[in-house]
């Protein structure tokens, strides 16, 4: 009996040791994902909608399969890791394997938070069907000179550059791929901050969609981006269908329109771009200035394409600021294991 008791007590020991080796910031990221998942699942239960698994071949919002950005992130990380190993001659597999395990956990955790985020975004019209588009459009009319300036800047691009219309989405994806690959592979000390910041934007921004929702100014006027106008028309049709047919339609069809939900307030494109740009500047990396240019471009394009009202931008920046403050507080208070964790 004594031997059996000792065996039972020893069984969880490896698991406990493995749990203790998890960096505190990564444990916080896992807890954030789990907590957000519970909140979203609970909201779905309240409105009678199950979680959907994406099956869409082409995202209405992106104009391509939503798995492409994830694949690009994976390939970008793999390329950066290979180049780094060759350049530094760090060919020992054990430390690289430990670092890669942390990065794989981060990657999967961020994707999981994105999964819950897009489910919640689909449910916004059911949770809070009131729309504040008219009020936000009135602020655009008050600030018309600013929007006219943005349109003048956008007009500098030749109209026959069809690919230019895709840069709003592709530039955003490129920022994520580059920032994740560089910070993860270099083991920059801001890597944990960046990871938590990106996740917090998805969590805080997703919940903020429920406060004073809007679909976007394109319902009042056309924008300057032809690709955006096509996407907006399809997403607007889906939004109307959700309002008419409710939870049963989402339960039956939500998987096919997983990333096709509309939510303008706040702008999470701007929030994410601001977080990524902030940590590039904190890390003093060479890409920080191109990131700033892309951030400004996303700000201008989000308004002139009529994806967003002008007021959505400062709201997005507030989400970014909150995410940065919380991420910094978690990481900077993580104790002595923080540096070891980042080093992989």
Residue 255: pLDDT above 70? Answer: yes
Residue 6: pLDDT above 80? Answer: no
Q: What is the mean pLDDT of residues 148-173?
A: 77
Q: What is the mean pLDDT of residues 296-325?
A: 94
Q: Which of 126, 129, 151, 149 shows the shortest CA–CA distance to 221?
A: 151
Q: What is the mean pLDDT of residues 112-128?
A: 94
Q: What tens digit of pLDDT does each residue of 170-228 get?
A: 888 888 888 888 888 888 889 999 999 999 999 999 999 999 999 999 999 998 888 88
**What does the block give as tokens for 307?**
């994806």
The dihedral built from the CA positions of residue 140, 323, 185 and 104, taken in this order, carries a sign that is negative
Cα gap 261→242, rounded to integer Å: 10
Residue 344: pLDDT above 80? Answer: no
More confident position, 59 or 300: 300
Residue 34: pLDDT above 80? Answer: yes
User: At which residue do the structure tokens 């979680």 appear?
Assistant: 51
Tell me what percent of the residues of the chain surpass a pLDDT of 90.
50
Q: What is the mean pLDDT of residues 306-319?
A: 95
Tell me what percent of the residues of the chain surpass a pLDDT of 70.
83
Q: CA 295, 109, 101: angle at the middle one, nearest 5?
A: 105
Q: What is the mean pLDDT of residues 37-48?
A: 94
Lowest pLDDT segment from 35-49, 138-152, 326-340: 326-340
Q: What tens digit of pLDDT does each residue of 55-100 get?
A: 888 777 777 667 777 787 777 777 777 776 666 655 444 456 677 7
pLDDT of residue 53: 87
More confident position, 99 or 308: 308
pLDDT of residue 159: 57
Cα gap 200→32, rounded to integer Å: 8
Q: What is the mean pLDDT of residues 269-297?
A: 91
**What does the block give as tokens for 297?**
């471009």
More confident position, 98 or 143: 143
Residue 339: pLDDT above 70? Answer: no
- Give every CB contact of residue 325 below 8 A, 6+ residues apart in sequence: none
Distances (CA, A) of 167 to 153, 155, 272, 293, 305: 15, 15, 16, 12, 12
pLDDT band at 113 (very low <50, low <70, confident <90, very high): very high
Lowest pLDDT segment from 39-48, 91-100, 271-280: 91-100
More confident position, 298 or 81: 298
Residue 160: pLDDT above 90? Answer: no
């Amino acid at each position: 009996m004594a031997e059996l008791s000792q065996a039972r007590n020893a069984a969880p020991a490896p698991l406990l040791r493995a749990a203790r080796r998890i960096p505190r910031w990564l444990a916080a990221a896992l807890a954030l994902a789990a907590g957000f998942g519970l909140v979203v699942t609970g909201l779905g239960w309240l409105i009678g909608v199950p979680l959907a698994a994406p099956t869409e071949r082409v995202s209405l919002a992106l104009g391509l399969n939503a798995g492409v950005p994830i694949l690009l992130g994976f390939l970008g990380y793999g390329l950066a890791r290979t180049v780094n190993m060759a350049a530094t001659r760090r060919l020992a597999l054990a430390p690289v394997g430990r670092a890669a395990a942390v990065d794989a956990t981060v990657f999967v955790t961020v994707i999981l938070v994105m999964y819950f985020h897009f489910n919640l975004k689909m449910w916004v019209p059911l949770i809070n069907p009131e729309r504040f588009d008219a009020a936000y459009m009135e602020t655009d009319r008050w600030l018309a000179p600013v929007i006219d300036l943005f349109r003048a800047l956008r007009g500098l691009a030749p109209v026959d550059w069809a690919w230019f219309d895709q840069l709003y989405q592709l530039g955003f994806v490129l920022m994520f791929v580059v920032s994740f690959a560089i910070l993860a592979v270099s083991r920059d000390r801001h890597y944990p901050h960046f990871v938590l910041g990106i996740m917090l934007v998805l969590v805080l921004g997703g919940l903020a969609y429920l406060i004073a929702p809007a679909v976007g100014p394109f319902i009042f006027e056309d924008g300057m981006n032809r690709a955006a106008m096509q996407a907006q028309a399809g997403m607007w049709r889906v939004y109307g269908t959700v309002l008419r047919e409710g939870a049963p339609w989402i339960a039956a069809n939500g998987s096919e329109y997983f990333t096709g939900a509309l939510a303008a307030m706040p702008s999470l494109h701007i929030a994410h771009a601001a977080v990524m740009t902030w940590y590039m500047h904190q890390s003093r990396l060479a890409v920080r200035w191109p990131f700033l240019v892309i951030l400004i471009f996303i700000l201008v394009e989000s308004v002139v394409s009529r994806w967003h009202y002008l007021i959505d931008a400062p709201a997005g920046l507030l989400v970014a600021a909150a995410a940065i403050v919380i991420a910094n507080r978690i990481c900077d208070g993580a104790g002595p294991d923080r540096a070891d964790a980042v080093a992989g």
